[in-house]
């Protein structure tokens, strides 16, 4: 991302997330992205669980590890949705030390492609208009 995204979610690195080297084990960064995209949608007023939930599935993830995060650090997971297709959308993530948004300083950069998904039918479906409208408005205006 050229500049930090409008939305971010803060979390703390827990003991169970570090490895023998004392740094965040790589797979936990996917969990951080998953938590952040859920909070992104919550911020937009879009349910991801329950009746009338927007269901989506991950189809591709690319992660670039820049430097390690460590136990007890606060992390800001920035989320932007720069591309919204018919059935899919691309989310970009950057994880920074809490309140540090200097270009070039993230712990991780990731790009994840998701599809809008119908569990009952077991297939990708078009992104619902109500979801599309909220994402487009938020990415354009921050509201």
pLDDT band, residue 4 (cuts 50/70/90)? low
Length of the chain: 143
Instruction: Report the candidate in 129, 6, 9 with the shortest Cα–Cα distance to residue 76.
Output: 9
Residue 71 within a domain: yes
Span 29-33, average pLDDT = 98
Residue 102 within a domain: yes
pLDDT in tens, 115-136: 999 999 999 999 999 999 999 9
Residue 2 within a domain: no
Q: Tell me whether strands 123-124 and 88-97 are parallel, antiparallel or unpaired.
A: unpaired
Sign of CA pseudo-dihedral 72, 73, 74, 79? negative
Question: How is residue 97 written in tokens?
Answer: 């030390």
How many domains would you assign to the chain? 1
pTM of the model: 0.93
CB atoms within 10 A of CB 66: 14
> 32 is in which domain, residue-wise?
7-141
The domain spanning residue 14 has which CATH number?
3.10.129.10
Q: Are 80 and 7 in contact (CB under 8 A)?
A: yes
Distance CA 96, CA 67 (A): 10
**Position with higher pLDDT, 135 vs 102:** 135
Q: Are 126 and 65 in contact (CB under 8 A)?
A: no
């Amino acid at each position: 991302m050229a500049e930090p995204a409008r939305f971010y979610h803060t979390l703390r690195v827990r003991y169970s997330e570090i490895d023998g080297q004392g740094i965040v084990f790589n797979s936990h960064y996917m969990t951080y992205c998953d938590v952040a995209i859920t909070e992104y949608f919550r911020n937009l007023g879009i349910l991801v669980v329950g009746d009338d939930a927007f269901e989506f599935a991950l189809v591709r993830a690319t992660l670039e590890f820049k430097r390690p995060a460590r136990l007890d650090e606060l992390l800001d997971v920035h989320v932007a949705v720069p591309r919204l297709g018919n059935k899919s959308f691309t989310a970009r993530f950057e994880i920074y030390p809490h309140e540090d948004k200097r270009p070039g300083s993230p712990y991780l950069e990731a790009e994840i492609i998701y599809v809008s998904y119908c569990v009952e039918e077991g297939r990708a479906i078009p992104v619902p208009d109500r979801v599309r409208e909220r994402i487009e408005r938020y990415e354009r205006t921050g509201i």
